[in-house]
Amino acid sequence: MRPWLLLSAALLPGVAAAGHDVSLGVTAVTLTNGGVYNVTTPRFGLDAAYAYELDNWRFGGGLRWAPSGQGNLPVEVYARALLTTRLGRWRPAVGPELGVSGLPIIIPPQGGFPDDLSRKQAMQLGPAYVAMHAAPLRFVFQHFTVSALEVQWGTTLNQPGATLRLQVGLVHLGVLL
């Protein structure tokens, strides 16, 4: 028997358990440090994601675009590794996310604050972040996925704990390929 045929037969069960998921969703992101830069108004945006499902793991990443408000380039790029379980149609998932964000907004201080306060605040808001992502209301219907109220909580990597990142994925619709 040919070696490539043996290899494909050995890998076939793993391939059958794997899947590709492409989704598009609406999200709201809030970034705050509790100080002068204390923006509690969420930034709404679109989230395009890809995930490779292998057994109980979802590996993937995506791109977020949140054009509302002032600030840097309103784009985020991220990667995730989520642990999931299968309970009928219900497929909740949880795990870490690592990303680079252009979303932080620096608001010029008013009311007698030092001129260099914006620069000091910007140093706390580095572009790289780490977060814990949870999708408790994720469901699969044949070749389609629906997820609502995903929650993400995290901080920047340059000064962990100096800023809080809170994100709510309002709804994600996807297709299993």
Alpha helices in the chain (DSSP H): 3-17, 117-124
Average of per-residue pLDDT across 5-26: 61
Between 17 and 142, the more confident residue is 142
Instruction: Give the global pTM.
Output: 0.80
Q: Which residues contact 129 (CB under 8 A, 6 or more apart)?
A: 98, 99, 100, 101, 154, 155, 156, 157, 165
* Residues 160-174 pLDDT 10s: 887 788 999 999 999
| Contact (Cβ atoms closer than 8 angstroms) between residue 26 and residue 171 | yes
Separation of alpha carbons 102 and 73, rounded Å: 5
pLDDT tens by residue, 36-95: 555 667 889 999 999 999 989 999 999 999 887 655 678 999 999 999 999 999 999 999
- The predicted model gives 15-33 an average pLDDT of 80
In this structure, what are the phi and psi dihedrals at residue 14, rounded to the nearest 5 degrees?
-70, -35
